[in-house]
Structure 1
Amino acid sequence: MNFTDLISGSIGSQATEGISEKLGLDKNQTQWVVSAAIPLMMSALNYNAQKSPEQANGIQQALASKHNGSIFDNLGSLFSNGPTEDEDKIVNHIFGKNTENVKQSLSEKSGISMGKIAGILALLAPLVMGYLGKKKQGQDEQGGSGGIGDLIGSILGGGASQSGGSGGIGDLIGSVLGGGSSNAQSSQPNVSGGLGDLVGEFFNQKNDSKAKGSILDSLAGMFGK
């Protein structure tokens, strides 16, 4: 399973269908939110992991104790039982103080209420964490020594020693964005070149809702194929 599978492959398709049915949403609208939200989540996790050793350790502990990838063995139960309060807490851990900003921006651009956007994010969060857990397990089994930041960076397509195992995200980002931007915010770690710069601009407080909406469209267009 690669990163694009999580968004537009078999897993992404199941997620879109399950979320649409659970929340009573149009599938095309749901697919757009899924395609924009998952890259935001993964990039935010990468930012958190690189921000401090404590946050990186917290993510690793969450993967080890709760998110080992077994969620993919029974996706139906996630969509039939959720969204739950625990799943909503995962969203808040991922986005922190930007959580409401993310919900509002996705709501304004998609036309879906903030309440249902919150439900979509809550159902996607355990999928993103489960995917990371599965990748971390594979890394450990192969004797890999990199930290969680290295792992997420490789998934997103960052890092000099990139292999084809990430699903070609680095090449995809380069073809859509033309490489990394030269005006990345100094407070934003260099998480993955073009994608990191794009997500950094989404969280840049100087950008208005129109600019944020354009960035979400770029993410959805990049991954929602």
Structure 2
Amino acid sequence: MNITDLISGGIGSQAVEGISQKLGIDKNQTQWVVSAAIPLMMSALNYNAQKSPEQAQGIQNAIDTKHSGGIFDNLAGLFNDGPTEDEDKIVNHMFGRNTENVKESLSEKSGISIGKIGGILALLAPLVMGYLGKKKQQDAGAGSSGGGIGDLLGSILGGGGSNTNASGGGLGDLIGSVLGGGAASNTPSTQPNISGGLGDLVGEFFNQKNDKGTKGSILDSLAGMFAK
């Protein structure tokens, strides 16, 4: 399984179908939000994992104890139940103080109400976490060094453009390898920076120097990357 499967492949198609039916949203609109939101979630997790060992350990524990990837065996159950308070909490943990900004940006660009955007994000959150859990297992099964997600204790994790010298394949490396690219530029721009890979592009969305128009263009670029 790779990120394309999660966004626009078999799993992504099931997610779009289930979300659009449960929340009463047009499929094309749902696909656009899914394609833009999942990279944002990955980037937020990458940032959190590198921010402090405590936050990294929290993500590690969540993946090890709650998100092993088994959710992909019962996608119908996830969408039939609809968004829950626990899933909404995952979204808030991912985006922190940026949560409302993310919802507002996705809502404004897609034409979907903020309330329904919140529902979409809540249903996507366990899929993103389950994807990381499944990838960790696959990496371990393939004999990858560094323990897959790796040792999260005592260091700020590398990957995805971190400037730390941490060694081993930690969670930051795992998510960084999924996203590609490096750290976001601090230089304001009128157009999204797509030269450095998906990680750089997503980083520009969270760059506070970029205005709403630029953020909207970034969301369009993200969605376009995974268009069928």
Give the TM-score category using the shorter length.
Answer: 0.7 to 0.9
How does the TM-score come out when normalised to structure 1?
A: 0.83
Q: Counterparts of 1:138 and 1:92 in 2: how far apart (Å)?
A: 28
3-state SS of 1:207 partner: coil
**1:171-219 Cα distance to aligned partner (Å, 9 max, x none):** xxxxxxxxx79x7029xxxxx9432222222112222211111010000
1:76 aligns with 2:69: no
Contact 1:70/1:130 (8 A) holds in 2 = yes
Contact 1:83/1:123 (8 A) holds in 2 = yes
Which amino acid in the other structure matches residue 5 of structure 1?
Answer: D
1:219 aligns with 2:222: yes
Q: Tell me which residue corresponds to 1:185.
A: 186
Q: Counterparts of 2:139 and 2:201 in 1: how far apart (Å)?
A: 27
1:201 aligns with 2:204: yes
Q: How many Å apart are 1:147 and its aligned residue?
A: 1.0
Q: Tell me which residue corresponds to 1:173.
A: none
Q: Tell me which residue corresponds to 2:45.
A: 45
Tell me how many residue pairs correspond in the alignment.
198
3-state SS of 1:35 partner: helix
Contact 2:107/2:113 (8 A) holds in 1 = yes
Q: How many Å apart are 1:24 and its aligned residue?
A: 0.3
Q: Counterparts of 2:176 and 2:204 in 1: how far apart (Å)?
A: 18
Which amino acid in the other structure matches residue 204 of structure 2?
Answer: E
Q: Give me the identity figure in percent.
A: 80
1:63 aligns with 2:66: no
Q: Tell me which residue corresponds to 1:16.
A: 16
How does the TM-score come out when normalised to structure 2?
A: 0.82
Contact 2:70/2:130 (8 A) holds in 1 = yes
Contact 2:180/2:199 (8 A) holds in 1 = no
Determine which structure has the larger helix proportion and give its number. Answer: 1
Q: How many Å apart are 1:115 and its aligned residue?
A: 0.0
**1:19-45 Cα distance to aligned partner (Å, 9 max, x none):** 000000000000000000001111111
Q: Tell me which residue corresponds to 2:101.
A: 101
Q: How many Å apart are 1:157 and its aligned residue?
A: 3.0
Which amino acid in the other structure matches residue 219 of structure 1?
Answer: L
Which amino acid in the other structure matches residue 203 of structure 1?
Answer: F
Q: What are the ranges of 5 or more consecutive residues in structure 2 without an aligned counterpart?
A: 147-168, 188-194
3-state SS of 1:184 partner: coil
**1:73-104 Cα distance to aligned partner (Å, 9 max, x none):** 01000001120000000001111110000000
Q: Which of residues 173, 193, 200 is equivalent to 1:150?
A: 173
Q: Counterparts of 2:227 and 2:96 in 1: how far apart (Å)?
A: 25
Which amino acid in the other structure matches residue 56 of structure 1?
Answer: A
Q: How many Å apart are 1:110 and its aligned residue?
A: 0.2
Residue pairs, 1:16-35, within 5 angstroms:
16-35=16-35
Contact 1:103/1:114 (8 A) holds in 2 = yes
Q: Counterparts of 2:111 and 2:179 in 1: how far apart (Å)?
A: 28
Q: Counterparts of 2:209 and 2:25 in 1: how far apart (Å)?
A: 32
| RMSD between superposed Cα atoms in Å | 1.8
Q: Counterparts of 2:197 and 2:2 in 1: how far apart (Å)?
A: 19
Which of the pair has the greater relative contact order for Cα pairs under 8 Å at 6+ separation? 1
Which amino acid in the other structure matches residue 173 of structure 2?
Answer: D
Q: Tell me which residue corresponds to 2:166.
A: none
